[in-house]
Amino acid sequence: MVFTVESHFVCNDGLRVDYRPTPNKGGIIVPTLLVMHYTAGFTAASAIATLTSPASQASAHLVIDRHGGVTQLAPLNNKTWHAGKSSWRGRSMCNGFSIGIELVNCGPLLERADGEIVAEVAPRKVIGGEDAVMAHHPNGERTKYWQVYPEAQIEAAEGVARAICEAYRIKEIAGHYDIAPTRKRDPGPAFPMASFVSRVLGRADDEDEPVAVPPARFASPELRRGDSGEYVAALQYLLNLNKAVISALSQDGDFGFKTELALIAFQKRAGLVADGVAGINTWAALRARKDQ
Ligand SMILES: [Zn+2]
């Protein structure tokens, strides 16, 4: 299960996920925010039916069911109607700059007089104890049961969110509650927002963070494709530090194809001879930029 984004469609292992186009959409957007929701319902089918019905005047880009199944309702660069009246960092009407993901989850639960835990939304279906978690919503309502998000669903949501954030260089993820706190409470306190955000956005940051320490600070051996060893690892470290390519090189000490491409990209940017060979000038330029 590897999610990617191709031409504004989410793909799973290279194939587009199920597409159920919604008429409830507007024009082209440049998304800078990802917004997480719950459906306040029980099944993906009912959510998709609502979000593709003209009468509902509501939609989202994606629906993720409780087993991790993903359905897309509109291209990711189209405006969908998931946020309503909302604002984020001083910008209002978030539909105009955000992608919305709906997770199938019925939200808050009630304890019936007979002790059964049921959904707050109609029909008040019984939710098994293993599907309920006691949690406190930051909006101040009393601590109560909420329906849990199954691991398979969170895993799929993370994969999809990561692919989207990489494709559109999105740096922020919010809950519907965060952008419309007086009207909304989804995705609710059962959604692990903090770990979700760090797992979706953190990885890219980690990749930007070089981990090795370059050996022999003043040595500048000539290196080319096929070479290996600690100086190659140092070269990779410096290329990462200089952000030669967007996704960081693995600092494995093997001068392969990717290292060569990164080196050529760096040499071009630095105005050096772009021959893919690390000579004394390249080492000097890599270290100069590092020290800035
Ligand atoms: Zn919502």
Intra-chain end-to-end CA distance of the chain, in Å:
41
Give 9's strand partners.
6
Q: Give me the pLDDT at residue 19, please.
A: 98
CB 62 within 8 A of CB 69: no
Structure tokens at 121: 């939304």
Domain(s) labelled CATH 3.40.80.10 in the chain stretch across 3-105+149-201
Q: Please identify which residue in the block is written with the tokens 């993370």.
A: 158
Band of the pLDDT at 97, cuts 50, 70, 90?
very high
Report pLDDT digits (tens) over 59-73: 999 999 999 999 999
Give the distance (Å) from ligand 1 centre to CA of residue 114. 31
How would CATH label the architecture of 209-291?
A: Orthogonal Bundle (1.10)
Q: Percent of the chain scored above 90 by pLDDT?
A: 71
Give the distance (Å) from ligand 1 centre to CA of residue 155. 20
Give the distance (Å) from ligand 1 centre to CA of residue 2. 26
The yes or no reply on domain 3-105+149-201 and CATH 3.40.80.10 is yes
Domain(s) labelled CATH 1.10.101.10 in the chain stretch across 209-291
Q: Tell me how far the alpha carbon of residue 201 is from its chain's centroid.
A: 6
Which of 102, 111, 141, 209 is an active site residue?
Answer: 102
Residue 102: active-site member: yes
Give the distance (Å) from ligand 1 centre to CA of residue 118. 21
Give the distance (Å) from ligand 1 centre to CA of residue 147. 15
Report pLDDT digits (tens) over 162-188: 999 999 999 999 999 999 999 999 999
Report pLDDT digits (tens) over 198-251: 999 985 444 444 555 555 555 788 999 999 988 888 888 888 888 888 778 888
Q: Measuring CA to CA, how many Å separate 122 from each of 164, 185, 207?
A: 33, 17, 45
